[in-house]
Amino acid sequence: MEVTGAQALIKSLEAQGVEVAFGLPGGAILPVYDPILDSSIRHIHVRHEQGAGHAAEGYADATGRPGVAIVTSGPGATNIVTPLADAYMDSVPLVVVAGQVAAGAIGTDAFQEVDTTGVTMGVTKHNYLVKDAAEIPRVVAEAFHIATTGRPGPVLIDFPKDVANARVDWKEPAAVDLPGYFPATDPDPGAIGRAVELIRTASRPVLYVGGGVIKSEASAALAALVEVTGIPVVTTLMARGAFPDSDPRCLGMPGMHGSYTAVTAIQRSDLLIALGARFDDRVTGMVSAFAPNALVIHVDIDPAEMGKVRRPDVALVADCRSAIEALIAALRGGEALDPARLASWMAQLAEWRARFPYTYDPGDGSTIKPQYVVEQLRDATPDDVILVSGVGQHQMWASQFWRFDHPRTWINSGGLGTMGFAVPAAMGAKVGRPDRMVWAIDGDGCFQMTAQELVTMTAERIPVKVAILNNSYLGMVRQWQHMFYRERYSSVYLSPDLPDYVGWAESMGCVGLRVTAPEEVRPAIEKANEIDDRSVVVEFRTDVAEHVYPIIPAGHSNDDIVVHPSQAQDQ
């Protein structure tokens, strides 16, 4: 059957099971937008290509399936570079198709021409420039294979207009044949044996759980490992929900704004079992002082993570779930572990938890504390609500004060720290999981960056809820200027009233609510929860003076953790 290159692309996407694509047309990608009209793929027409990329990420994070975005050449492609970089950092499976000028015009500085493969080389797992329409089925099949296997990541397909217009005989792609791509899967039995020996003899072990546990759908296996070993768990920002916060063995989040107990447990541990985690600087603080007495078992599917930051004593290059299952099998094959061996360690952890929980000053009731809003949202929403956040103070408070009990219920930008992530990612999450309530917690600075996707959501009937913690500042920057720049506030003030968030929300077809007093917080949330035919934006006017605690100053040892001022005398 003869088809156009554009039709071959759409057929190839359909063959991959793609149900949804987020995109925005333009000159070079026009041929692709014609067969989309006849396709089973739901195309969601975003208002900015960055929105398409983050929506595709939110979709992938919520569902575990690859997110797809389609953009045009030049500015369309450059506008999606940030989401590509974000997905690369957080190992999110994406396939992005970008239009390109006709192959013959490449290199001539043609209208809307950008060297898209060159620009995106450093922020994609792989990319393609399609030069022949006959390659399309193979390239698309490879792109999805690469994006979703091994350590997941974004793949870009640069698609020249003349290739899209060319006529070609449709052929199903042959099996993927990539002679240089063999992602690890099963762990080395010898390494499993050495890991088990360390687990058996450790007296202060900690499971350091990263986003890889969620990507490999290993939460149930992890729960079983904790049952067998009794070892306490910390869940990184990318892994919140991989192990339930409501389990007493969950110590919460490690790192710069992590819980005192999680941070200090790692510092005092004699065995750190890193599962799908990459020793990010936000977790380690000063690397040379990180977990100084711990032996390290490092499980990761990416061999380049072994020793990149911290040299492991046992390196397990494998899919997290198969590695965890192999550890459980090996542990069960031997003598049962006596929970009493960890009794004094668990008692120590319990004591820290009691002394240093996350806390904030409730104040005199005259201002809304941002942490209070997070707590109220947590308590007024269903157990399986999907929470999405932007980047900054609100993100840290959301991670700290929420109670995550399920994987894929927390979606945020970890590695790249992309402000403006929340609104479009929430759209993607809701498209992927229409059965779930989706709340975004956003900052006022973040909201201003990508709020236009609420227009998309109104037009496409994708109802989400956005809580803006409006403190009229770039709050995290303000906090650092307060703590580390002698309160010299530089370019951080945003104004509480400009823009008018309620008016803006309403102009985008949403319900807009403004909350200015603590007693209005819960009723506003409950009102928002009852609206499910359109998106709701609730603006909470929050106390600007609140800082995120604990904090470990950048570059310091994690031993230098600064707890909330009210706990300082206990430290």
Q: Annotated catalytic, 2?
A: no
Burial class (CB in 10 A: 0-12, 13-18, 19+), 274: buried
Q: Are 273 and 207 in contact (CB under 8 A)?
A: yes
**Parallel/antiparallel/unpaired status of strands 167-169 and 2-4:** antiparallel
Rounded least distance, CB 127 to another protein, Å: 8
Q: Annotated catalytic, 476?
A: yes
Query: Rounded distance, CA 255 to CA 243, Å?
Result: 17
Rounded least distance, CB 122 to another protein, Å: 5
Q: Which residues sit opposite 45 in a β-bridge?
A: 23
Choosing from 112, 348, 448, 567, the catalytic residue is 112
Query: Rounded distance, CA 75 to CA 164, Å?
Result: 19
What residue type is assigned to position 155 of the chain? V
What residue type is assigned to position 171 of the chain? K
For another protein, give the closer residue by CB, 87 or 256.
87
Alpha helices in 98-184 (DSSP H): 116-120, 136-148, 161-165
Q: Annotated catalytic, 49?
A: yes
Rounded least distance, CB 137 to another protein, Å: 17
Contacts of 143 (CB under 8 A, 6+ apart): 95, 126, 128, 155, 157
| Subset of residues 263 to 282 that bind another protein, contact rule: CB under 8 A | none
Query: Rounded distance, CA 480 to CA 482, Å?
Result: 5
| Subset of residues 113 to 132 that bind another protein, contact rule: CB under 8 A | 117-118, 121-122, 125-126, 129, 131
Q: Annotated catalytic, 571?
A: no
Which stretch in 256-264, 300-308, 449-457, 545-553 sits in contact with another protein by CB under 8 A?
A: 300-308
Contact letters for another protein, residues 163-202 (x by CB under 8 A): ---------------xxxx---------------------
Choosing from 49, 305, 453, 460, the catalytic residue is 49
For another protein, give the closer residue by CB, 184 or 511.
184
CB-facing half-sphere around the CA of 305: CA atoms within 13 A: 26
Rounded least distance, CB 185 to another protein, Å: 16
Rounded least distance, CB 550 to another protein, Å: 31
Q: Which residues sit opposite 22 in a β-bridge?
A: 44, 69
Query: Rounded distance, CA 159 to CA 161, Å?
Result: 6
Contact letters for another protein, residues 69-108 (x by CB under 8 A): ----------------------------------------
Contact letters for another protein, residues 303-322 (x by CB under 8 A): xx-xxx--------------
Three-state secondary structure readout of 403-424: CCCCCCCEECCCCCCCCCCHHH
Figure out which of the listed residues 21, 44, 92, 146 binds another protein, where binding follows CB under 8 A: 146
Q: Annotated catalytic, 430?
A: no
Choosing from 161, 215, 430, 465, the catalytic residue is 161
Query: Rounded distance, CA 273 to CA 299, Å?
Result: 8
DSSP state of 551: B
Rounded least distance, CB 301 to another protein, Å: 11
For another protein, give the closer residue by CB, 142 or 442.
142
Rounded least distance, CB 181 to another protein, Å: 5
**Strand locations in 381-464 (E):** 386-389, 410-411, 438-443
Q: Considering CB under 8 A, how many residues would be counted as binding another protein?
A: 19
Residues with catalytic function: 49, 111-112, 161, 476
> Where along the sequence are the contacts to another protein (CB under 8 A)?
117-118, 121-122, 125-126, 129, 131, 146, 178-181, 302-304, 306-308
